[in-house]
Amino acid sequence: MSPAIRASSILPGRREDIELHTADGLRLVGELALPADRDPVATLVCLHPLPTHGGMMDSHVFRKAAWRLPALADLAVLRFNTRGTSSVRGTSEGTFDAGNAERFDVAAAIEYVEFAELPNIWLLGWSFGTDLTLRHGCDPGIVGAILLSPPLRTTSDDDLARWAESGKPLTALVPEFDDYLRPDEARRRFAAVPQAEVVGVPDAKHLWVGDAETVLDEVVRRVNPAAPVPLPSTWDGPMETGDASAYADRTVAAFADLPTPGSTPGGPADAG
């Protein structure tokens, strides 16, 4: 029987530590993962959840994307820490700015993959990273974007109108039991973007614990339609084991101390 792909499995790929340099003079740390022995067919630029509540480039869905998708779906995966964010890779310079100055971080990541001549650039935002995507990511250089658990916390009507006008594909994966924005409300909010696709994911929650494979399948369906999905759950080739123990307390970080618009104390937690 072929070995199972587990949460800590690292499939073959070319991985290198990288640095991004922002227009306002900061150095951001990250990693670029590429297929081991061929060129990628598309590129994911990952924008992570809220760094003040545990979000970083190694948040579990992005870590699994980088460890699996170069081998399983011929994708390049760029992950990085936004300003002031730390992970095992290191700490990016600067200070968290609630998604405002982070516009320079998003631009630096897109510029990096363009300069590296990586193909078919998609943004993959998660939670706080979806607001970064919607506010700052509608760039001529990208093909489209996929949003995981979008809270639409700081995204404005003007931001949505910009995406609508661009015509770029936009997919929102919305957990059935999200703490912030659930599928029916998401469909109402994203109606402002005619090309937006809202996919409700049954039984899922905001942090996608136990549902990372579902997320990766849905991402690959859109970014590389030629790849077979569901993605394989076993692997016959070489496979390493990563150490995710440093993040055991951050994978399921809670966001209860940040109230959401319209929420009451002790109510639904902030989406991160």
Dump pLDDT digits (tens) for 213-265: 999 999 999 999 999 999 999 999 999 999 877 665 554 433 333 333 333 32
- At residue 1, the pLDDT reads 80
7-21, 119-133, 189-203, 240-254: range with lowest mean pLDDT: 240-254
Dump pLDDT digits (tens) for 28-63: 999 999 999 999 999 999 999 999 999 999 999 999
Residue 137: pLDDT band with limits 50, 70, 90: very high
- Do 159 and 128 contact (CB within 8 A), yes or no? no
Long-range Cβ contacts of 242-250 (<8 Å, 24+ apart): 242/8, 242/9, 242/10, 242/63, 242/67, 243/8, 244/7, 244/8, 244/58, 244/60, 244/63, 246/88, 247/58, 247/59, 247/60, 247/63, 249/54, 250/54, 250/56, 250/59
Domain segments of the chain as ranges: 9-247
Residue 97 DSSP SS3: coil
Average model confidence (pLDDT) across the chain: 91
CATH code of the region 9-247: 3.40.50.1820
Dump pLDDT digits (tens) for 111-131: 999 999 999 999 999 999 999
Share above pLDDT 70 across residues of the chain, in percent, rounded to a whole number:
90
How is residue 16 written in tokens? 């290198």
